[in-house]
Structure 1
């Protein structure tokens, strides 16, 4: 069977192997690639190494150099700015394993970060190494790998603070066994956080000091965002046996333009101010809208992405609040979309949707 979405180290194994074979620069202890090669893996080389992140090179250099120190890395940004994507590829390039993951939620318990117990063995044998169930963070410490913590600000504050000793002392005490786990060289943590979640569970000052924060911005230009969306839709389309992206270039540009205009509250030419909807209209949502449109075109159309295939997806992405967002969308449709002659087929499809 073929995995729907292979892990980064599996999907890009050939690229990682090629970089490792030609990488003659110094590597930090426990790293599979040098910092320069990790950045090349993320940004591409224009030849055999494909870009995984499209954005400022300096941000990736700061992120990679942080992980080579004793400070952890916090990737911060609005939804859809590739925080999870970047953290996965960083872990894959540095450790060869992106699966040591803690998914942060309001229900994340301390055991998810420290360790738990096999209670059947605990009751029959008492506390023992065999009864202990290591967390992804503990396994990363033992093997000198990168651990990932997703949506850190959604984790309850008292659970967040279990990271303080791990990050400052590089040690995880196990008092039940009168022992501890000491982090091996190469260990570090990449956390992600959505800056729309500020005020949910703010990081304590003690914990924040142990992270170096890198803010991932939304794409700076429409061309950059079109490039990102095109690449990701192509990758997803291949995995789902959907039509090739070149047939979808016009619709990709239209979706990106709509999202950017509504996100910024201003039309591309700067002449018309717009109301913005309550949702984020992220790059990730644009990718989702277009992938769904490609599926419609492939299975219920002629294989060519047309305005009608993306209209319903855009309406669903924009209108999160059925009252206020519906007003925003109707105004945009009638004052902006309707006036663009080349957008008339999309205007009709969006009205029908």
Structure 2
């Protein structure tokens, strides 16, 4: 049987990339810019699922790679004054969000990752990337643990699959805090407009955020419009959103579904039930893209007094591995 996939090194505009192809699908990942899965396309149906930088955008993208593709956030979102204590250890991150006085988004979405392998099998094309932190790595000064984060992306007839593992191979317990700032085009289809789109999201409760965008530990009641996110759906740009929610499940799954009503197509972002939180941000209701962000832990989790299990604050003991999978694919609506 003829192979219908490819995996090869190339470029995305002027940046080194590993490209995957399988049938009608194509994807690209950028090892030197945070292992960002920067493109996922369906050529047969003329769909561009993820927000991609143009050639002219590449310098600004490299300076701030958080709002294109699928950036890896570790630790994700905001940490008060860049400080927290975990397992008796004090951590100090740089304050990089002047408006709030917080640390934002960690270090891995801008870091250089290794390409471990890429290949094609009878079932898929795939690439594996990793980054290992030890005493000689610049990130070690902020996260003084020996650990490896590994990402595996694959393309097949089932769409784009992601597998992420965090392996603590040091001698002390470490916090595992991770999210993906996934930037979804709306519209993702040629000829459609933002008004053609509705989405649902498996949320339960909305966290109350203070003036520094940090959770107070309390919930806010959902508005009537917000409640539609988990029922009938609503437009991604119904209002400006930079909101934090607990996750729920729908038919046993934790996911976002984005429907193009003009074409009768539905994008499913199935993220796995380990992600107990969602952030959702729509760039000021710009009508171009929005970010449904699966997040393992509550924003500022180590500074919360709530139980670790409730807020998704995972402790990785020496030798332990945390792992989860996600998938992006299109079905008929």
Short-chain TM bin: under 0.3
TM-score using structure 2 length? 0.27
Bigger-Rg structure (1/2): 1
Q: Which has the higher strand share?
A: 2
Structure with the largest fraction of helix = 1
User: TM-score if structure 1 supplies the norm length?
Assistant: 0.26
